[in-house]
Amino acid sequence: MTKPTEKLELFEVFVRSKRGLDHKHVGSLHAEDHEQALEYARDCYTRRSEGVSLWVVKSSDICASQEDDADCFYDPNDDKPYRHATYYVLPDPVNNM
Amino acid sequence: MTPEEQNFMRKIEAEEKIEPKDWMPEAYRKNLIRQISQHAHSEVIGMQPEGNWITRAPSLRRKAVLLSKVQDEAGHGLYLYSAAETLGISRSEMIEQLQSGKAKYSSIFNYPTLTWADVAAIGWLVDGAAIVNQVSLQRTSYGPYSRGMIRICKEESFHQRQGYEAMLALAKGSPEQKAMAQDALNRFYWPALMMFGPHDSESAHSQKSMEWKIKRETNDDLRQKFIDQTVKQIEVLGLEHPDKNLKWNEERGHYDSSDLDWDEFWSVINGNGHCNRQRIEHHIAAHDEGEWVRDAIAAYNEKKRAKKAQNAA
Ligand SMILES: [Fe+2]
Ligand SMILES: [Fe+2]
Ligand SMILES: [Fe+2]
């Protein structure tokens, strides 16, 4: 008897498209374990040489911030425009320092 | 060469990044740990000369800006310690090496910040010099270091611009303010040039680092870049250039300049700068005084774990 897919563990898949770049989230899939998830991810997400490296992470291991709370979560940073380089107006001849 | 070494060198030559789980020569790993941890220590120790001025910055706006900048530097330290940790050294080992004097940090932070203009000069010149170096290091061969540099460079631009803006306010201010700006420029210009390290011919780690593409440009080339870009900036401030031998060289397409006081350079590196002892003593004191915070975190985590186990049972 095979397990229905939803009984399998859910994994998030991250692909590094080129050496030196960050891994980027591309999607998810169900698998029995990490090894199987890696193989499925290869077959699912990198059929056209999209990547040189794959990460699979159990979705249940990801702790995410709540987007609904984004306003108050990021609030402490919203009133600090002086953290941006563009906030400082400099004379033209040196403006691209 | 072993097949592993061959494969490693092939990646380096093809401009591919080396990642933490890749095979790498032991000397490459060591060299990287030395450079990245030294860089991390510089970010952290660098908070002291500026942090010293947060409560005394001349306006609420300048206080908020300086506080933000110093906070960024703590973040840079964290990115870099994390990058070094991917090479198999622990945070506490690195801190221990800093505190025992085994690991170095940038000598520039052993100069005192005597006036508010010094803080402006640091943002403009010291962060400016750091940017020249860090832009080049975005292309370093070690992946985590390279990605850390890209993130840091994005944040640095504000540091340099706020410094220049503060400098401009002083340079265009009262005669006393202008004199203060000139004095800060005169004192910080030379140590800022020394940040690029000794001449290439004297640099112990340079050759191997270049071969392995840990470093992408030589100390002298980076220094020249900084000298060239700073000329216009000094002119716009209306201040006098501290280097009386500065002269445009048409043939080279660069400015010629005075040689640096290398005796001073080595003396500060070897521990005899104005603030070497104070910087490390302060770091040790802050670390020790923070012990109860680390203990409290550990106790809280333990309590949380126990509670979870109880709920699960
Ligand atoms: Fe920094
Ligand atoms: Fe830096
Ligand atoms: Fe900075």
The residues facing B255 across adjacent strands are B248
Closest by alpha carbon to B116, among B70, B174, B68, B183? B183
| Residue A79 pLDDT class (50, 70, 90 cuts) | confident
Question: Which pLDDT tens digit goes with each residue over B201-249?
Answer: 887 777 889 999 999 999 999 999 999 999 999 999 999 999 999 999 9
> Tokens 């120790």 — which residue?
B45
Question: How far is the centre of ligand 3, averaged over its atoms, from the C-alpha of B250 (Å)?
Answer: 33
Looking at residue A97, its pLDDT comes to: 86
Distance from CA of A1 to the nearest CA of B (A): 31
pLDDT confidence tier of residue A1, bands split at 50, 70 and 90: low
Using the Cβ of A88 and the Cβ atoms of chain B, whether some distance falls under 8 Å is answered with yes
Nearest to B188 by CA among B249, B109, B134, B253: B109
In the predicted structure, residue B1 carries a pLDDT above the cut 90: no
Does B21 contact chain A (CB < 8 Å)? no
Domain A1-62 bears CATH identifier 3.10.20.520: yes
**Residue A81 in contact with partner chain B when CB distance is under 8 A:** no
Determine the average pLDDT of the residues in B32-58: 96
Among all ligands shown, which has an atom nearest to the Cα of B137?
2
pLDDT in tens, B162-197: 999 999 999 999 999 999 999 999 999 999 999 999
Q: How far is the CA of A26 from the centre of ligand 1 (A)?
A: 32
pLDDT band at A2 (very low <50, low <70, confident <90, very high): low
Q: Are B98 and B41 in contact (CB under 8 A)?
A: yes
Residue A71 has pLDDT above 90, yes or no: no
Of B11, B16, B161, the CB nearest to A88: B161
pLDDT at A47: 86
pTM: 0.89
Residue B202, pLDDT score: 85
Q: In which band, very low, low, confident or very high, does the pLDDT at A96 lie, cut at 50, 70 and 90? A: confident
Q: Which of B58, B109, B38, B127 is nearest to B273 (CA)?
A: B109
How many A/B residue pairs have CB atoms within 8 Å? 54
